[in-house]
Structure formats: C-alpha cells, structure tokens
Amino acid sequence: MSETRTDCIPGSQAKMLLMEIADWEWVTTIVLHAGSVFEFKGPFPTGSEGHGFYNLQGEMPGFHGHLNLELVSHIRFQDKPHRGRESYAFVFENADDEVIFKVFLGRDESGELIASQVRQFSALQLQYQQGAKHEQ
C-alpha cells in the first residue's frame, strides 16, 4: 500500500480531471489488462455519475465505459520519452500503485503533440508540485 502521494493529483480529483480532458479534443486512452493493451484514439467522452460509476457518454460509435473512480487513489504525471519521442500521460492508479488506465496527450496530423494540451498538462503538473512543496 502506498503512502500519501505528494507528486500526483489526488484520486478525489479524478472526476474533475476527466471532465477537463473531455474538452481537450484528441487524446489516446490506454487500458492494460491481463497482458493485453486496449487503445482508443479520439476525444475522451464526457460522463456522469450513476450507480456508483462515472459513466462515459461519448458519441456512437466511440469510446464508452463505466469507471469506478473510488478505486483511483492518485493520478501520476508521466512525462518521459516513448520510442524516442516526447510523451505525456495522466496515469490513474489504485492504492497499490497499479495502473487502472492512462490518458496520453494527443498528436496532430504530423505526429506532433498538441501544444495546448502540453501547456495544460504542464500547468497542472506545476500546480500539484507547488502544492506538495507547500505541504512539506
């Protein structure tokens, strides 16, 4: 079990973050399960709470699902190269630091990161890093 994370967004903010990401246009959502990787490229859908889940309500056809946000302990900032290219993601993890799913910033037609998303990601990362410094 991990101790309180000060380098992450608290899990209690997961809904707020997902609602914000729904306005970011194109992203890549990755779900790792039993050795398989499920990937969706496109807008992250908006959602609403009901029956204990955050229910994704995207266009059809499109990305849908039911997220148990109570299991999200923290959302880690991932900013490391992937296959030699700059890459950023929000990594939703449980209390045992196991990945539930990841949302990567989107890329434009030429494969470059969407600049507005990088700015928003960096601003959130700085906000939570500064919050951690104030707590120490």
What's the CA gap between 53 and 49, in Å, rounded? Answer: 6
Residue 128 burial (C-beta neighbours within 10 Å; 0-12, 13-18, 19+): buried
The answer as to CATH 3.40.1570.10 being correct for domain 8-135 is: yes
Sort strands 99-105 and 47-50 into parallel, antiparallel or unpaired. Answer: unpaired
The full set of domain ranges for the chain reads 8-135
Q: Are 57 and 45 in contact (CB under 8 A)?
A: yes
Give the pTM: 0.89
pLDDT exceeds cutoff 90 at 11: yes
Q: For tokens 């997220």, what's the residue?
A: 67
pLDDT at site 82: 85
Strands, E assignment, the chain: 8-10, 26-33, 36-43, 47-50, 53-57, 64-67, 74-79, 88-93, 99-105
Residue 31, strand partner residues: 38
For range 116-121, the mean pLDDT: 97
pLDDT at site 59: 82
CB atoms within 10 A of CB 15: 16
pLDDT at site 101: 97
pLDDT at site 6: 56
